[in-house]
Amino acid sequence: MFASLRYLTPLAILAVIAVASLGGDENSSPIRAYVGAHIIPVTAPEIPDGVLLIEGENIAAVGKRDEVTIPKGAKVIDLKGKFLFPGLVCTHSHIGKVQGGDSSSPIQPGVRVLDSIDVLDSTLEKARAGGITMANLMSGSGHLLSGQTAYLKLRDGVTVEELALRNEDGSMAGGIKMANGTNSIKGSGGSPGTRGKSAALVREQFIKAQQYRDKIAAGGDDPPDRDLAMEALVDVLEGRKVVHHHTHRHDDIITVLRLKKEFGFKVVLHHVSEAWKVADEIAESGASCSIIYLDSPGGKLEARDLEWKNGAELEKRGVLTAFHTDDPINDSRWFLRSAGLAVRAGMSRQKALEAVTIAGARMMDQEKHTGSLTAGKKADFVVLNGDPLSVYTRVLETHVEGNKVFDLADPGDRLWAEGGFGAGHRRLASGCCFYK
């Protein structure tokens, strides 16, 4: 019902249910028609006065008011003066207290971040308040290989299993987090002390994974012992997992592209502060880029040459480009502003809107299900009070698979949208600024 329902007392829950039974909750109707809004499907022309027809979890139709037949008995919601836009997709996030590898080794591809995610953490509520409906949750960048990422739909649920996206074989969808540059160079505890040693350690791991794969394929009487790390890297070699690679400097970007060519894996380059310097090389490689706009280059020396023209330069070369928050580096509630800043720096309106929606879905192989307002896809969308590129625009509602998970009009939900650090948290404060 409401995103904050699970935090209410039993009596409060009964009261909300009673109100809903009187027709106050649009989620209670299996067929809903949102009419009168300016609809931005992203993969189709904008519709100034449109209809978005939802049946259950899916989009049944989208089009002009005189082109969509609203079934008898459907719940009609008038959104005149509002904008309808696909749910936002964040390709790089650390919400949910997500953790990956520890300090024991720079190489830990067997770690699964899904085993560390707290889906009841307040950061997920704030992401919903920012209009985010799908996110790639990953560990930090202090390792060369820090573990397997998790693709989550920000449904209302209490377990990772309820939020996790699934592959066709039923396994949980996700990629592999890798990093190079300053973050992963430590020179102690088995970690590399130079960029050259970083690349050498990664190359050794992929060679071992090739040998592991070949030995299993050969069969025989002496199969190798099961190795979770090698299994994860074999998934990368076979194209079942995408590499999500933290990299900033132009020379570090080229190193990633060199490894991509050597081992044939699919890669999304994250951050890429100096992508504008090697945009032609990125385009030639076929790699995708997930970039950040609200990060302060003053916080990291290797990001000192970050320029906001990154998106525009990558667009010129035809590189698939998305945006991300890196939350908590950037608050998920400000994610939509990335598109506006990109346009200000020369990116086209169309590609900027794609970069917060369908482009990210493509990078996670989920474009068949989400990322645009298209008949047959899941009903993942946001209601906005203005154009998505305006700094004044607010997220009024967030819907995931037809269910409203954030409503600015609900006082409980408003806390997630407007409060500061820890606002609306379900737990009591302990000390000055931390939570139990």
Query: Residues 65, 92: one domain?
Result: no
- With beta carbons less than 8 A apart as the criterion, state whether 410 and 417 touch: no
Give the domain extent around 39: 5-86+390-435
- With beta carbons less than 8 A apart as the criterion, state whether 39 and 387 touch: no
Assigned domain for 150 exists: yes
Assigned domain for 269 exists: yes
Low-confidence ranges of the chain (pLDDT < 50): 1-24, 427-436
Query: Residues 327, 278: one domain?
Result: yes
Query: Residues 67, 179: one domain?
Result: no
Token pair of 62, please?
A: 């989208």
* CA distance linking residue 198 with residue 176, whole number of Å: 17
Query: Residues 16, 121: one domain?
Result: no
User: 46 vs 64, 194, 349, CA distance in Å?
Assistant: 10, 50, 12
Assigned domain for 123 exists: yes
Query: Residues 238, 98: one domain?
Result: yes
Q: How many CB atoms lie within 10 A of CB 83?
A: 20
Assigned domain for 193 exists: yes
Assigned domain for 381 exists: no
Assigned domain for 309 exists: yes
* CA distance linking residue 81 with residue 117, whole number of Å: 38
Assigned domain for 234 exists: yes
- The 8-class DSSP code of residue 105 comes to -
Query: Residues 78, 182: one domain?
Result: no
Query: Residues 119, 247: one domain?
Result: yes
Q: What is the pLDDT of residues 238-290, one digit of tens each?
A: 999 999 999 999 999 999 999 999 999 999 999 999 999 999 999 999 999 99
Token pair of 381, please?
A: 């969308």
Query: Residues 26, 104: one domain?
Result: no
Alpha helices by DSSP H, listed for 219-273, are 228-237, 250-263
Q: State the total domains in the chain.
A: 2
Query: Residues 78, 157: one domain?
Result: no
pLDDT at 10: 43
Query: Residues 150, 28: one domain?
Result: no
Query: Residues 42, 185: one domain?
Result: no
pLDDT at 433: 42
Give the domain CATH number at 47: 2.30.40.10
Give the domain CATH number at 202: 3.20.20.140
pLDDT at 283: 98
Query: Residues 176, 63: one domain?
Result: no
